[in-house]
Structure 1
Amino acid sequence: MAHNFVRPFLFEHLDVRGACVHLGDVWQALQARRGYAPPVARLLGEMAAVTALIAANLKQPGRMSFQLQGQGPVRLLVLDCDEQLRLRGMARADAGVAEATVPDLLGHGQLALTLDSVGMRQPYQSLVPLDGDSIAGIFEHYLERSEQLPARLFLMADGSAAAGLFLQKLPDADRRDPDGWRRVQILAETVRAEELGGLTTLQLLGRLFPEEDIRLFDPRPVTYHCPEDWGKVESMLRSLGRDECEAVLREHGEIHIHDEICGHDYRFDAGRVAELFGRDRHV
């Protein structure tokens, strides 16, 4: 099985659905060369896992972005994923962030969702306050408010993997089995981080829910997608205008643009700027 996937499942007789996510080299690529302190990397990895889980439910082409903005030492977490489960993201934090509780790391803030799908006149945006003592708790609160359905999340992230288990109570659950949702939650709460990161979906569900009848669906691959986009950067510079670009060149000797979410650097010297605008100033 691929090391980067979201795999949905359904409790056949309970009207409870779920999914497992595992990010191996995708998670390693997302944090490569960033130098995040361990607490920052852990928060970003857990948020990467839950973003992939939620994006797996996108029904049409589009892009979903989550921004967790806080006033603590971890000021910003950004994860972006499309319907093909192509993931990218970044964190912004103070230097040398030490281990602390999630509320202390994030402080007061908000979770923002932006959804931009084909056919939408403008992107949909939603804001909720940070309510929860973990990334899992924050997103459980978000899901219950946005979908009006109770959900549970169990997440982990270390240097090699980010993974998670998602459970959601569907509308007919109490009619199908009045004790089913409670029972599933109690069993899921026994999960350990090393099991989330180290077991296959089949092994994990078999360990947690040995008495339940579960239907597994095919896994969906997750990829890290953050290519360089010189065309986009050149269009941005053209929109600034030649005079503005040449003023930056005179002051700094080059135009340097750093793409924080992907980690790419774009540099334009005088020759490249001249080529960008053409020899004729009026072109």
Structure 2
Amino acid sequence: MSLDVLQRFLLDDLDIRGAVVRLGPVWRRIIADRHYPEPVNRLLGEMCVTSLFVTEALKQPGRVTFQVRGTGPVSLLVVDCDERLNLRALAQSGDDIEQGTARTLLGDGQLVLSLDLPSMRQPWQSVVPLEGEGIGDIFEHYLSLSEQLPSRLFLAATAEGAAGLFLQKLPAADTRDPDGWNRVEQLAATVTDDELISLAPDALLSRLFPEEVVRIFDARTVIHETPEDWDKVRAMLRSLGREEVESVLQEQGAVIVRDDLANREYRLDRDAIAAIFDEAPPTLH
């Protein structure tokens, strides 16, 4: 079984749906060589897990980008996830970060969702203030506004793995069992960070809800693919203009373009820069 999975489930008798995410190698590739402080890894990992829940729940396939911008020691968290569950992410922060809640580390700020669907002419964007102490609280608040369905998130992340449990109360839940949502919330709240990260989804659900009928759907694999995109780099440099690009080349001996979201660096020497500006521009038809 893959260590990077999203597994949806339904508590059949209660009309409560949910999902489990477990990330291992994908998460470690995302943060490889970034040297984020431990509190930053935790926030970014929890946000990656939550973004997978949101992307999987879309009514039609699309790409979701979440940005959390704050005034605290952690100034930016960005997670991008598409319909293939291809996950990319980055963070910006100071070097000397102490432990604290998301609220302490982010300060005041906002959560920005950009949704890009094939049916849209341009991405749709939503902006909400940061509410709550943790990443789970922030996204529970967002989901209460966007979907108007009670939702709970239980999240964990270390440098080795990230994981989470998502629960959502569907409209007929109270009719099926008036105490069902409260009971499931209390059971889910007993989960530990170690259980979230180390247990396979089916084992986790059996541990938490032994008396409930749990229907588990086919697992989906989470991936982290960041192919090189030289056309995008060349177009960006052309937009800056030859004079500005060559001034950087003169000063530094090479032009380095950093794609932080893909954790990739492009290095161009004098010949590569000359080729960009000397080649014929594309013909418009």
| CA apart distance, 1:257 | 1.3
Q: Which position in structure 2 is the counterpart of 1:253?
A: 253
Q: Which position in structure 2 is the counterpart of 1:128?
A: 128
> Are the equivalent residues in 2 in contact too, given 1:65–1:115 (CA < 8 A)?
yes
Q: Which position in structure 2 is the counterpart of 1:160?
A: 160
CA distance in 2, matches of 1:37, 1:279: 43
| CA apart distance, 1:279 | 6.5
Pair 1:215 & 2:250 matched: no
Q: C-alpha deviations, 1:18-50, integer Å up to 9, x for none?
A: 000000000000110000111111111111111
2:199 maps to amino acid: L
> Are the equivalent residues in 2 in contact too, given 1:52–1:81 (CA < 8 A)?
yes
> Are the equivalent residues in 2 in contact too, given 1:112–1:125 (CA < 8 A)?
yes
**What is the total number of aligned residue pairs between the two structures?**
282
1:245 maps to amino acid: V
Listed as ranges, the matches of 1:1-283 within 5 Å are 1-278=1-278
CA distance in 2, matches of 1:38, 1:242: 41
Secondary structure of residue in 2 paired with 1:203: helix
CA distance in 2, matches of 1:194, 1:8: 20
> Are the equivalent residues in 1 in contact too, given 2:55–2:62 (CA < 8 A)?
no
2:220 maps to amino acid: R
TM-score under structure 1 length normalisation: 0.95
> Are the equivalent residues in 1 in contact too, given 2:87–2:222 (CA < 8 A)?
yes
CA distance in 2, matches of 1:278, 1:234: 12
CA distance in 1, matches of 2:122, 2:280: 37
CA distance in 1, matches of 2:236, 2:84: 26
Q: C-alpha deviations, 1:197-222, integer Å up to 9, x for none?
A: 11111111111111111100000000
> Are the equivalent residues in 2 in contact too, given 1:11–1:17 (CA < 8 A)?
yes
| CA apart distance, 1:227 | 2.3
CA gap 1:188/1:245 in 2 versus in 1, 3 angstroms = same
Q: Sequence identity of aligned pairs in percent?
A: 53
TM-score under structure 2 length normalisation: 0.95
1:128 maps to amino acid: V
| CA apart distance, 1:280 | 7.9
2:259 maps to amino acid: D
CA distance in 1, matches of 2:222, 2:280: 46
CA distance in 1, matches of 2:236, 2:94: 29
2:180 maps to amino acid: G
CA distance in 2, matches of 1:41, 1:280: 44
Q: C-alpha deviations, 1:136-157, integer Å up to 9, x for none?
A: 1111111111100010000001
Q: C-alpha deviations, 1:178-201, integer Å up to 9, x for none?
A: 111111101111111111111111
Secondary structure of residue in 2 paired with 1:51: helix
More deviation, 191-200/28-37:
191-200
CA distance in 2, matches of 1:119, 1:14: 34
CA distance in 1, matches of 2:98, 2:20: 30
Structure 1's unaligned 5+ residue stretches are: none
Q: C-alpha deviations, 1:78-137, integer Å up to 9, x for none?
A: 000000000000110001211122211110011110011112011110011110111111
> Are the equivalent residues in 2 in contact too, given 1:165–1:196 (CA < 8 A)?
yes
Structure 2's unaligned 5+ residue stretches are: none
> Are the equivalent residues in 2 in contact too, given 1:59–1:83 (CA < 8 A)?
no
CA gap 1:255/1:217 in 2 versus in 1, 3 angstroms = same
More deviation, 242-251/253-262:
242-251
CA gap 1:175/1:279 in 2 versus in 1, 3 angstroms = closer
CA gap 1:170/1:246 in 2 versus in 1, 3 angstroms = same
